[in-house]
Structure 1
């Protein structure tokens, strides 16, 4: 595996390329019309143009990705997350082309890509499940009877999807049929599959996920949990590792279940098993994501592992170099997803130009991004600008560093989730760990002024003043400008 094509864009493409470079592996970028001047294109050793800005005609076109591999001689593909990363049909195309997909088998993707087949696989290992239907609903009347047995409120969920699409909370049976039809319609629109099922609605859930790694020799380990309960529109905004409410005993039980879920499909590579945790700290299997997660950096920070390098080693056929007993949690990490969104207007995307873009620095701060000052946030893709990760010896220090990093992060020209992140870090519910997936609806009122701790603001001002002085005396260092010449000379076009 001497050359890898990264079938993605933005910060995740750059993140994969950096680990590959450290392993002595050449990288190939692919890019659409909107991404001609993107950082990941400049950073790669080679770059291939694959089509118009619309993802359906570029990053989602598996045939163009395969052709780009043939054109450049890349022997493996890293799909990142999103786009084709969990597409079983694409995984088979890669196999058929004689290439290596840095990810699980198509069969594992297929089973875990559908919530019903995933539940069926997990049940073989007696994994705890939320009470509900084990098969797709074919009769609304039968489903209504089952809902009555479970007890309202219930949740209608799309079997093929995620991200809150095709999901409906039903409070009583008078609106059951209407909500069922809406869920089916939304599932068909979003996923091309109208299959839905129902389960008991857990009213105060926490979203806990377990990172797993498996090799091709039957070894599977878990890398502990991530707390992902601060969400908007059923999508995560803030994640941390470890969770403030998980005991060592509960962690061990959840970890074993996650490993068993992976074992049920002979899983290889990096994956994430997601659970919901109720108010009694009982946990239930939710789904498995058969790819690298956006929030993987917090796991890297507390374990000292590079998950991309681990993925590559597994794809090469190497054994995991450690057992479960070798793995330990060290410190605490928090991630804030910085989206080009306006939290004061229901987190609506706010597309524009990064007039100012200056990232925070210092001990315990990591920024994974794919933009620089003057670049535009394209309308065609997810509006995430960057991931801001802080690490500390404990949760208190990680929160303090996140507040400091947020104050240092300077972005103008668009609205972002930075101030929302500051609001969360300063809220008593988050500080005490007493929160669930309803954090935003319970506590965030965009009409009210955001709380700012005066002492924290004073410290931030002192830090900012010192940085300003330092900046005036420091030399400006270009970001790998020598690579810009390399990729232009190797740049290829795919018609």
Structure 2
């Protein structure tokens, strides 16, 4: 076994690998960019080596620098995690040439599966079922469009070297093909340095089911059952679970054996995932093979009682697989939710900022499931802590929230509660959306397919509703309690005492549903709150930091309030409500800015200008395309109007909030 390994990654996967390696008595070396000098994975390892500037191409994608760090620290092997260099055959080859063990598959397997078109050819020879499509080398527009016409619309364009949902476009009509191909190729070259694409038939209600496979150097290969990853947005996974709901033993065996055949066809070694697209009728087709550990691997660990990272290390050291196929069984049900810094209400646009408040449910880290007699478990895999920043340089994942229960119903209930207990302030997150998704009828009923979020958009994105009175009471009492804590002397008292009358004052909050106006009348034992049609007596029963217990009328109200500047975040009964406190002293003299400004939603690069100066456009017309966090974002006209000026050229870098063009509304 190795005595020291280097982890060529960052974030939660680096922390995950470090925890398992150290439990096995293996010392670990972290690498970090300038942006990650104080990151959690650096603290988790025994040693740490700087490898360059913040941009991944200058640090985490510099294979030569990483290999030099491994040699300098005496590491015997490199664990690539996932993403970055984990599926880079040149890096795997360079590790071998440097005398280092690459903890992953052989170079030949990476090569065969690294190109989607080559992978399809190999799978066809191995009799693994394939989706109808074109997977060849010809890439001229007219030829590819002819292939799409032959296959029949809708078709799916996919980057040949792609992964993670990047470089993918669904084309519904012949007329839309050329523009979709250009966009797909732009994103593919930006993400993978390779703009080749393949064209496949797009199945209308497919499920995304993947099989975890594992092979050793002694010829053994097993499958550790399936994961259902159907719930996606923009072709990227949101919720994953194991086992797949509705899976029969016969279908599980057929898919597992097909996955093992795929692995054997390329001489696979280590952890891999064979992804299938499955019809509702049970038929399934090979989609791709990921030659690495997957983000969602914890759900497989939870139902099989295995540590897949430990398996990776043992196999890379030449040891046999810890279990045979007949020794692997499924126990219980597991779900994983990806906690992202993103705004679901704005098209899942990534968010950047600092985690000024982070409270998670009570959980364990890196564990296999409990004994059968226990109820359930919550696990969190994360690479960040409160106070850390989510930067524009890397994937905006905050954590993976994993739950295990005796069955799917128990796991769903546990996930809903865990999401209710997850609190984030400082940037936008998808926590509230995930909870709505878990509680939604289609997900609860396992009515799953990759279009679930789009099909049930209106249910998952309900219109804003009036702020409940308990939330208003919590926000109001938090303001009043904060004023009391700020008192310095009797002349600054905010306790509302008056000689001949009770003090009454008005507090105003901005909310998604509109303004909230609260009249507060001070009394000897609390306050009387009048909001809309409701009038209630409110008393503070207990306050522990940001946690409040109130008596609102005859009801007991418990919640958490976190103030971030003028914004109050209120958690109550699983809801997260954001209120903007309009302090009259702070906002005195302010006027709302007006004008035709279209600004960058995040730092990024201009990749296409779709309009010209002095061009008239209609509402919703695409104006320009930005690339940020390796994804394209289209800026559209907010109304009919005139493009007066373009302030940036293609290739220009822009800062968050920068004005992109001058626009005059009609």
Q: TM-score, normalised by structure 1?
A: 0.88
User: Per the alignment, in what secondary structure is the counterpart of residue 135 of structure 1?
Assistant: coil
Task: Judge conservation of contact 1:137–1:196 (CA < 8 Å) in 2.
Answer: no
> Quick one: distance in 2 between partners of 1:236 and 1:447?
18
1:117 to 1:400, Cα distance in 2 relative to 1, 3 A? same
Report SS of the residue matched to 2:273.
strand
In the comparison of the two structures, how many residue pairs are matched? 460
The yes-or-no answer on 1:6 pairing with 2:1 is no
The 1:347/1:142 distance shift into structure 2, 3 A limit, reads closer
Query: Superposed, which structure 2 residues align to 1:205-244 within 5 Å?
Result: 205-244=206-245
2:483 match? none
User: Which digits, 9 at most, give the CA deviation of each residue in 1:110-132, with x for residues without a partner?
Assistant: 11010011111111221111111
Determine the structure 2 residue equivalent to 1:381. Answer: 394
Q: CA distance change for structure 1 residues 116 and 390 in 2, over 3 Å: closer, same or farther?
A: same
Q: CA RMSD in A?
A: 2.3
Deviation at 1:197, TM superposition (A): 2.2
Tell me how far 1:175 sits from its aligned partner: 3.4
Deviation at 1:449, TM superposition (A): 4.5
Residue 428 of structure 1 aligns with which residue?
A: 441
The answer to whether the Cα contact below 8 Å between 2:56 and 2:394 also exists between their aligned partners in 1 is yes
Q: Which runs of 5+ in 2 are unaligned?
A: 364-375, 472-540, 549-666
Pick one of 384, 399, 407 that aligns with 1:371: 384
Q: CA deviation at 1:143?
A: 4.0
Residue 341 of structure 1 corresponds to: 342
SS in 1 for 2:137: coil
Q: What is the CA-CA distance between 1:379 and the residue it aligns to?
A: 2.1
Shift in Å at residue 377 of structure 1? 1.6
Query: 191-200 or 285-294, which moves further after superposition?
Result: 191-200
1:407 maps to 2:420: yes
Q: Give the distance between the partners of 2:416 and 2:432, measured in 1 at CA.
A: 10
CA distance in structure 1 between the aligned counterparts of 2:349 and 2:110, rounded to whole angstroms: 31
Task: Tell me, yes or no, if the aligned pair for 1:423 and 1:450 is still in contact at 8 Å.
Answer: no
Greater relative contact order structure (CA < 8 Å, 6+ sep): 1
Residues 69, 142 of structure 1: CA spacing in aligned structure 2 closer, same or farther, 3 A cutoff? closer
The residue number in structure 1 matching 2:32 is 31
Partner of 1:490: none
The residue that corresponds to 1:395 in the other structure is: 408
Task: Determine the C-alpha separation between the residues in 2 that align with 1:385 and 1:137.
Answer: 40
**1:304-319 paired onto structure 2 within 5 Å:** 304-319=305-320
Structure 1 residues 142 and 375, CA gap change in structure 2 (3 angstroms): closer
More off after superposition, 373-382 vs 162-171: 162-171
Aligned to 1:86: 87
1:31 Cα deviation from its structure 2 partner: 1.0
Distance 1:192 1:404, change over 3 A: same
Q: 1:141 to 1:38 in 2, by over 3 A?
A: closer
Query: Structure 1 residues 193 and 353 mapped into 2: Cα distance closer, same or farther (>3 Å)?
Result: closer
Please say if residues 231 and 240 of structure 2, whose CA atoms lie closer than 8 Å, have aligned partners that are also in contact.
yes
SS of the residue 2:111 aligns to: helix
Given the superposition, is the C-alpha separation of residues 58 and 185 from structure 1 closer, same or farther in structure 2, using an over 3 Å criterion?
Answer: closer
Q: Following the alignment from structure 2 to structure 1, what is the Cα–Cα distance between the partners of residues 400 and 52? A: 27
Q: Is the 8 A contact 1:137 1:197 kept in 2?
A: no
The residue correspondences of 1:66-81 to structure 2 (distance < 5 A) are 66-81=67-82
Are positions 1:167 and 2:168 aligned together? yes
After superposition, the C-alpha distances for 1:439-463 in whole angstroms (9 at most, x for unaligned) are: 2212234752489xx9xx9xxxxxx
- Is the CA contact 1:353–1:375 (under 8 Å) kept in the aligned structure 2? yes
- Aligned partners of 2:101 and 2:50: how far apart in 1? 21
User: Structure 1 residues 83, 140: CA separation in 2 closer, same or farther (over 3 Å shift)?
Assistant: closer
**What are the residue-to-residue correspondences of 1:28-427 with 2, within 5 Å?**
28-138=29-139, 140-361=141-362, 363-427=376-440
Report how far residue 323 of structure 1 moved: 1.4
Deviation at 1:431, TM superposition (A): 0.5
User: Do the aligned residues in 1 keep the contact of 2:116 with 2:135 (CA within 8 Å)?
Assistant: no
8 A Cα contact 1:156 1:167, kept in partner: yes
For residues 447 and 355 of structure 2, what CA distance do their matches in structure 1 show?
35
SS at match of 1:280: coil
Equivalent residue number for residue 480 of structure 1: none
Q: Distance in 1 between matches of 2:144 and 2:44?
A: 53
In the alignment, the residues of structure 2 paired with residue 205 and residue 354 of structure 1 have an alpha-carbon distance, to the nearest angstrom, of: 37
SS of the residue 1:364 aligns to: strand
Deviations 1:132-170 (A, max 9, x none): 124133455554444344222222222111233332322
User: Would you tell me which structure has more strand in proportion to its own residues?
Assistant: 2
CA–CA separation in structure 2 for the residues paired with 1:24 and 1:177: 55
The CA deviation string for residues 331-356 of structure 1, in whole angstroms up to 9 with x for no partner, is 00000000111111111112111111
Aligned to 2:462: 448
Structure exhibiting the larger radius of gyration computed from Cα positions: 2
Contact 1:136 1:159 in 2 (8 A): no
Which has the higher mean CA deviation after the structures are superposed, 10-19 or 182-191?
182-191
Alpha-carbon deviation of 1:414? 1.6
| Separation in structure 1 between the aligned mates of residue 290 and residue 75 of structure 2, nearest angstrom | 26
Alignment check: 8 A CA contact 2:311 2:322 kept: no
Deviation at 1:33, TM superposition (A): 1.0
What's 1:481 paired with? none
Bigger Cα displacement from structure 2, 412-421 vs 324-333: 412-421
Distance 1:92 1:44 in 2: 25
Deviations, residues 66-110 of structure 1 (Å, cap 9, x unaligned): 111111101101010111111110001100000001100111111
**13-22 or 168-177, which moves further after superposition?**
168-177
Corresponding position of 1:482? none
